[in-house]
Amino acid sequence: MSSTTKTALRLALTYIVMGSLWILFSDRALALFVQDAAQLSQLQTAKGWAFVLLTGLLFFVLARRALTRELALSERDALTQLLNRHMFRRELDNELRLAVQSGEYLTLLHLNMDGFRQINNTAGQAVGDELLRHVADVLRDQFDTRAVIGRLAGDEFAVSLRGLAWDTELVPELSAIQQKISTIRLPAHPSVGLTSCIGAAHFPVDGLNSKSLMAAAALALDEAKQHGVGEFRLYNQNYGDDVHSRQQLILDFKTALAEDGLSVVYQPQIDCRTRQISGVEVLVRWIREDGVAVRPDQFIPLAEQQGMIGLVTDFVCRQAIQELKAAKLLGSVLPRVSLNISAMDFNGTESLKRFVCLFADHEVEPSWIQLEITETAVMNNVEGSISALQGLREHGFQISVDDFGTGYSSLSMLRRLPVQELKIDQSFIRDIPHDHNDCSIVRTILAMSAALGLRTVAEGVETDAQAAFLLEHVCTELQGYRFARPMPIADLEAFIATYRAA
């Protein structure tokens, strides 16, 4: 039942009760005190008018209270009690008029929580709602009463500030907001945290009305999100051209996904002890119709933002299994195939069901499949990750932590993860053995992995010096251009035949 229907019923019931009580008791009260028939008739008339006045006054009070409540509900976001999108836009128009009259600058901030959909999927919507309430509290505490704050939709917020110095005060303000949001924790879910991206636009430079200013802030936010989590960007007029290019890229990518425009390649991994090929990592490639190759670090984040990453993952898994089975490599020549999982794919029990069904449909032994998830994705939701990984392990899948060393995981956390392999991020491999700090990090990772009985794969190995250092410190497997570049299935077959013969 809608709130307006409830309000109308409440008013009607109040009127019915009031009228019934008046009819039942007013005549009896008059009869007790007045015996004269003529006087009683006059009083009955006066009593009727009194009823009209009293019920009219009652209706006014009740209607005013109900309309005030409905107006408040229509202006405020029910979850956070901030202004909703419509009212924020109206208040922003007022703020712009005041800024013109006073000659002040006005700054508009557009905030978005990083990976919030994943938090809702893994920790639950109730946890997500509580986090959003805390974000609203942070914004209220951060700004004085002159700021206008609203919740635009979902995990998006906006703040309008008059008089903020764009050149000296804005960046510290943005950093302070992001730092406070990053400290939000719920006692029942201490491992679930937030980071935020912010876009900022400036009146009158970036827009002369609320519509153009909000569009500019949204473009700046989009640019911040393109550069990763916890970023902020100030609007630049070039962003409009970038957005047009990005929209075209999105359309082209959707077409490629629908029309089998993607392909997969395979990069062999070499066992340091036996010198045999221990497995391959499957990588996705996209070459546009004009022949231009689009880098994965461009289209994978795009697919995640557009909610298409699940389709990409499913395509890679299906295509790789079909090609490797047709070449009779899977499970015999290649004991292990590594497939990358996006953080957006990794959402607890749904991930488990999805991957189990996916590989069961292709009659693949789970022990042949290794699922790689980044350390950062694990750290974003440790408890949920442990539960999901344990489920995958129980079904026989192997688990690898990719890009290890970039996510600040601890030894105690690592001991809890049901994984069999750590992949050392290539940023640490690039400058060994010449960079002392990178050498120390790699040695520490290798020693820690050995103590926990985990395989280690060094990715991005390109030189003999790098390979020699890793062999000396007992790395389990090597992967990189020093041995083989990523290659299509026909080239992989030829490479394996040549390598085994040699």
Do residues 142 and 172 make contact, with C-beta atoms less than 8 angstroms apart?
no
Average pLDDT, the chain: 82
Query: What SS3 class is residue 457?
Result: strand
Place of tokens 């909703």: 84
The CATH class for the domain spanning 268-283+309-501 reads: alpha beta
Q: What share of the chain is helix, strand, coil (3-state, %, to 5)?
A: 55, 20, 25
Quote the pTM value: 0.60
Pairing of strands 398-404, 421-424: parallel
pLDDT per residue as tens digits for the range 262-308: 999 999 999 999 899 999 999 999 998 888 888 888 888 888 777 78
pLDDT per residue as tens digits for the range 311-354: 898 899 899 999 999 999 988 889 899 998 877 666 555 667 77
Is pLDDT of 243 > 70?
no
Architecture of domain 85-237: 2-Layer Sandwich (3.30)
CA nearest neighbour of 402 among 281, 312, 295: 281
Give residue 73's pLDDT.
Answer: 47
Alpha-carbon separation of residue 374 from 204, 315, 344, 378 (angstroms)? 43, 20, 11, 7
